[in-house]
Amino acid sequence: MISQLSWKIGGQQGEGVESTDRIFSTALNRLGYYLYGYRHFSSRIKGGHTNNKIRISTKPARAISDDLDILVAFDQESIDLNAHELCKDGVIVADAKFNPAVPEGSSAVLFAVPITAIAEELGTSLMKNMVASGASWALLGLPLEVFNKAVEEEFGRKGKAIVDKNIEAVRRGAEYVLELAGGPLERFKLEPADGKQKLFMIGNDAIGLGAIAAGCRIMSAYPITPASEIMEYLIKKLPKFGGTVIQTEDEIAAITMAIGANYAGVRTMTASAGPGLSLMMEAIGLAGMTETPVVIVDTQRGGPSTGLPTKQEQSDINALIYGTHGEIPKIVLAPSSIEECFYDTIQAFNLAEKYQVPVILATDLQLSLGKQSCELLDYSQITIDRGALTDEIPEREDGSLFKRYAETPSGISPRVIPGQKNGIHHVTGVEHDEAGRPSESPANRNKMMDKRLRKLDRIKVDHPIHVQAPYKEPDLLIIGMGSTGGTIDQARRSLEADGIKTNHITVRLLHPFPAKEIQPYLEQAKQIVVLENNATGQLANLIKLNVGYRDKMVNMLKYDGTPFLPAELYARCLKVYEEQESAQKPNGELVEHGNF
Amino acid sequence: MATFKEFRNNVKPNWCPGCGDFSVQAAIQRAAANVGLEPEQLAVISGIGCSGRISGYINAYGLHGIHGRALPIAQGVKLANRDLTVIASGGDGDGFAIGMGHTIHAIRRNINITYIVMDNQIYGLTKGQTSPRSSEGFKTKSTPEGSIESALSPLELALSSGATFVAQSFSSDLKQLTALIEEGIRHEGFSLINVFSPCVTFNKVNTYDWFKENITNLDTIPDYDPSNRIQAMTKLMETGGLLTGLIYQNKERKSYEDLVPGFRKEPLSGQNPEITAEQFDQLVAEFK
Ligand SMILES: Cc1ncc(C[n+]2csc(CCOP(=O)(O)OP(=O)(O)O)c2C)c(N)n1
Ligand code: SF4
Ligand SMILES: [Mg+2]
């Protein structure tokens, strides 16, 4: 029996790849397996090759697998493009309709199942997904009842007849492939899962769920890949809580509307990707200057410009930290798992109101869209901290304006919202005095700039970094962020097996940078590898700027649009280690490792 | 009940003496009192420009934002607290150049706010460049040979974009302006009020006297029916847009807030943001 397996489905965009994956993996999740999904898609709606890959494991595995056991193909292109990933005795389940052929040199076993024919016989080719997923399920020898239950839930609303038809499609697919294979394949027999209940979701769902839990009741946004799922989730859920999603005319409207709604006292968010964030920059400055809380999600994708809109990248770091003109206090958080997408969204709303600053939550495409198993989310950990929001404001004898920007030791001033009696004050992006009235006096300028910037001096963020540091003096300290953590974990296990000692840090607070927290680990390491999906080493530069250690830091970059794979990372780390061991460079300069 | 004096603060406007914007300020203060508001029930959201300073000169909640974005900010405020009276305001550059996209979409969306444009057909704050409202041939710092672009007709555009309340007034006619702002506030939907508000410093063509000579005032036309959209369009075209009064009103169409499925009838800002354990479990169930 095996403890993990990987499965992929490929076809033309719009022909059921997504739904086949959804049903197959939902059923696996029910059995308690840990799943990690990767979507390969392009920015076309119909047509164009697309594939979804999932790793199925009995233990947590948060990385794409290097190879592939089963490939389900709706067309020959899917075989030609993906067969090279198959392991030695991998299996291809292909639609007999296109006379599938195994590419030359491949040792894969082919099962040609009349997927389309069976579906059409049952009434519609739409049921291809059922036939295909039924065949996959049968090869693994898993109990059909669990699968049928997932089908019932998927189609229950459409009535019993539809459910029965789909179950029949599953049965026929299973039956056909078992006959070809002579029964379930022994080599794909998975150990039973731990049976613990898990959630199965994408990071964007977790962000949407976190927003509702945090009390967010309005979202203003403009559609963009890979952020749109957040608004699509909230448009379904917010009406149940009296709120709404408003699709604006552009991202400038999205952010300014969110600023207006937060100013008026309702937790409101917006979400976008690089192009939208670029448009929002002036308004983020307004939020900083007027000390208006606002939460902005940036689901990073390949840039610059339209770049690689459906591909993985982590290249907005500079823009998020430095992107608005002038100087404002601002928080940039980078969750590194589905669970953190949920908890950090709640935290983002709390930090925004506590410090009265814009908070950016930066994910990356793989974290936002890769469907994964995650631990059950804990209701008791949801807290709402509205900071210095003031309920009762005493009447002032002199009829003066409320000091919304009162100078305080922490820099944080009492906040009121429109509608409150005795709270009238002015709000402006122009430099202003304690009541918000415009003021250009140098003394006032110094006072107010210092007040705003000092708010983050003592910022408290849950786990600004994650540390796995089993070694006092590691050979390599690997630093990453976002979705790369699971890949790093796996590569570290391989390095460990070679006797190479590694520690691992995930940076979760990008700004203000947690220099104090991270410094001791940098000090201990013989060499530091900073791994990121961009071409210029933005995270590494941030560390160099805030902490130092330039002379023992190596950039490990990947910007071809695909995430790091564990074996690739292992090989690259090994190379870094060996270079360090063998040749001490005369000038101490370290090689930059470009893209493989 | 508050009188218009209670909408005054002691901030001295930095507008040039004679600037049309003074009247707009006074009209908002009077209208707010006339419709029975208390100062804390009003939020004035303004853009950037000479005109944009207006939110700082009224004793009410006020936000002076960024150039061209008064409308989305104001719509956000209204969605958060539908009990507030929200007025957005700014210049012709603010609303018809950099913010034009927001203007059209705010009109289509029909959220219940009132938008007052102080239209001086020039950029005042940046010291006299052409605006989308400048007439062809108009000489400014940025068009020394005269503007070669055609002037925008914002109210015709508003009518064709589904506006439910379209009015225009003139800074010299404080009475009409005040009345129109009151009606705009009472209108349950988006109300657009364009105000000819002369810039005495940089626009030597479209002056108070020039407007007095050229304006047609609908208040002097007894049989004008503001519910007739075609007539409204015709009248605007006939007068080259130099028409004041209530030009068009559609009282049938519901506001955005009233059409949003499930949208809370009471202000969201007053709602307890917490969710219950049951609600949480229901949300989580779909991911199991
Ligand atoms: C993004 C941006 N671009 C340019 C400016 C400079 N600017 C400030 S006000 C203004 C135009 C003012 O004209 P208008 O909106 O008609 O207002 P007025 O001063 O005439 O009342 C410009 C171009 C700015 N503040 N922000
Ligand atoms: S420059 Fe023109 S618009 Fe600006 S304050 Fe002076 S008169 Fe008014
Ligand atoms: Mg102007």
All structural domains of chain A = 4-197 (3.40.920.10), 200-381 (3.40.50.970), 388-462 (no CATH), 465-582 (3.40.50.920)
N- to C-terminal Cα separation, chain A: 34
Would you say B69 and B95 are in contact if contact means Cβ atoms under 8 Å apart? no
* Substitution target from A204, A338, A379 for chain B, most B beta carbons within 10 A: A379
Measured between CA atoms, how close is B103 to chain A, in angstroms?
Answer: 10
Q: Is A106 exposed, middle or buried (0-12, 13-18, 19+ CB in 10 A)?
A: middle
pTM of the model: 0.96
In CATH terms, the fold of domain B4-285 is: Rossmann fold (3.40.50)
The pLDDT value recorded for residue B20 is 98
For residue B121, what is the DSSP state? S
d(CA A157, CA B283): 18
**CA distances, A265 to each of A292, A301, B16, B42, B77 (Å):** 10, 32, 36, 15, 8
Strand intervals (E) in B31-124: 42-46, 61-64, 85-91, 114-119
Would you say A453 and B27 are in contact if contact means Cβ atoms under 8 Å apart? no
Q: How far is the CA of B231 from the centre of ligand 1 (A)?
A: 34
Would you say B78 and B112 are in contact if contact means Cβ atoms under 8 Å apart? yes
Atom of ligand 1 nearest to the CA of B123: 13
The pLDDT value recorded for residue A14 is 87
Atom of ligand 2 nearest to the CA of B20: 8
Please list, in sequence order, all residues whose beta carbon lies within 8 angstroms of the beta carbon of residue A383, skipping any fewer than 6 positions away.
A346, A350
**Which residue of A238, A290, A384 is in closest CB contact with B273?**
A384
Of the CA atoms within 13 Å of residue A280, those in its CB half-sphere come to 36
Residues in chain A: 596
d(CA A170, CA A83): 25
The closest residue, in CA terms, to atom 5 on ligand 2 is: B15
Backbone angles phi, psi at B267, to 5 degrees: -55, 130
Instruction: Give the start-to-end residue ranges of the domains of chain B.
Output: 4-285
Q: How far is the CA of A65 from the centre of ligand 1 (A)?
A: 54
d(CA A73, CA A56): 19
The pLDDT value recorded for residue A593 is 47
Three-state secondary structure of A498-560: CCCCEEEEEECEEECCCHHHHHHHHHHCCEEEEEECCCCCHHHHHHHHHCCCHHHEEEEECCC
The pLDDT value recorded for residue A584 is 55
Would you say A227 and A251 are in contact if contact means Cβ atoms under 8 Å apart? no
The pLDDT value recorded for residue A594 is 44
Of the CA atoms within 13 Å of residue A228, those in its CB half-sphere come to 8
**Which residue of B73, B105, B279 is in closest CB contact with A260?**
B73
Measured between CA atoms, how close is B52 to chain A, in angstroms?
Answer: 10
Name which of B107, B133, B135, B129 is nearest B119 in CA terms: B133
The pLDDT value recorded for residue A45 is 73
Would you say A313 and A301 are in contact if contact means Cβ atoms under 8 Å apart? yes
Helix (H, G, I), strand (E, B) or coil at A53: strand
List B43's β-bridge partners, or say none.
B61, B86
CB-CB under 8 Å, B11 with A260 = no
The closest residue, in CA terms, to atom 25 on ligand 1 is: B67
To 5 degrees, how large is the angle CA A452–CA A457–CA A462? 115
CB-CB under 8 Å, A197 with B81 = no
B173 lines ligand 1 (CB under 6 A): no
d(CA A579, CA A571): 12
Q: How far is the CA of B50 from the centre of ligand 2 (A)?
A: 6
Q: Is B259's Cβ below 8 Å from some Cβ in A? A: no
d(CA B129, CA B122): 6
d(CA B162, CA B151): 21
B121 lines ligand 1 (CB under 6 A): no
- Please give the radius of gyration of chain B, using alpha carbons only, rounded to the nearest integer: 20
Which tokens hold the place of A31? 């059995």
Peptide bond into A394 cis (omega under 30): no
Helix (H, G, I), strand (E, B) or coil at A4: strand
Identify the residue whose tokens are 């609600």: B279
B154 lines ligand 1 (CB under 6 A): no
Residues in chain B closer than 8 A to A30 (CB atoms): 288
Q: Which residues of A534-552 are buried (b: 16+ CB within 10 A; e: fewer)?
A: bbebbbbbbbeeebebeeb
Peptide bond into A512 cis (omega under 30): yes
Interface of A with B in 524-563 (CB under 8 A): none
d(CA B130, CA B142): 6
Render B56-80 in DSSP notation, one character per residue. GGBSSEEEE--TT-HHHHHHHHHHH
Which tokens hold the place of A223? 């559609």
Q: How far is the CA of A308 from the centre of ligand 2 (A)?
A: 47
Residues of chain A with pLDDT under 70: 583-596
C-alpha dihedral over A118, A119, A123, A126, to 10 degrees? Answer: -170
d(CA A227, CA B268): 25
Residues of chain B with pLDDT under 50: none
Atom of ligand 2 nearest to the CA of B200: 7
Interface of B with A in 43-72 (CB under 8 A): 43, 45, 48, 55-56, 59-66, 69, 71-72
Q: Is B12's Cβ below 8 Å from some Cβ in A? A: no
Helix (H, G, I), strand (E, B) or coil at A459: coil
Three-state secondary structure of A123-168: CCHHHHHHHHHHHHHHHCCCCHHHHHHHHHHHHHHHCHHHHHHHHH
B19 lines ligand 1 (CB under 6 A): no
CB-CB under 8 Å, A249 with B102 = yes
Identify the residue whose tokens are 């939550």: A361
Please list, in sequence order, all residues whose beta carbon lies within 8 angstroms of the beta carbon of residue A143, skipping any fewer than 6 positions away.
none
